[in-house]
Amino acid sequence: GGKSSNAKLVLLGDAGTGKSSIVLRFVKNQFIDFQESTIGAAFFSQTLTVDDASVKFDIWDTAGQERYHSLAPMYYRGAAAAIVAYDITNQASFDRAKKWVQELQAHGSSGTVVALAGNKADLIDSRKVSAEEARRYAQDNGLLFMETSAKLATNVSEMFSQIAKRLIEA
């Protein structure tokens, strides 16, 4: 049989970018139009098999509202992986995502695999952040990058698979 491992994964990013929706899509393959804003953080776990190895993700879905910022280190400390989400229709959320990446680089664990997720990719007519700009930023900072849509299930499982692959290779 293949290897199996546990990986702590944290989602970070502005309120309303779709962190909880990404997790709900990944864990239950569901989407809620009126997803409630997270209070504190929520925990989920989901196992993913890539090739013949399995990774059990212990997922911390953090609250993006600023008043919860001081809790974040509890969740990203020791994390094997982090997903930093922004909303492609919201430039401020992309700026905030960069701040999260800086905070992870300064205070996170050195080996954390970081993925940048440009979510709400279905809202193409309201786009404010170009995929090219985000891809370049991700490349310059050694991040995985995907545009995702929790609503349409675009690139959500793919993103977790890529993270799992990176973790298995490590």
Residue 36, exposed/middle/buried by CB under 10 A (0-12, 13-18, 19+)? Answer: exposed
Q: Which is nearer to ligand GTP, 35 or 157 (CB)?
A: 35
Interacting residue with Mg ion among 20, 148, 149, 155 (CB under 5 A): 20
Q: Is 125 in the site for ligand GTP (CB under 6 A)?
A: no
Q: Do 18 and 152 form a contact (C-beta atoms < 8 A)?
A: no
Residue nearest to ligand GTP according to CB distances in the complex: 64
Q: Is 149 in the site for ligand GTP (CB under 6 A)?
A: yes
Interface residues for Mg ion in 108-167 (CB under 5 A)? none
Half-sphere exposure of 84 (CA within 13 A, CB side): 28
The CA distance from 42 to 150, in Å, is 17
Site string for ligand GTP, 73-92 (x = CB under 6 A): --------------------
CB of 65 to Mg ion, least distance (A): 9
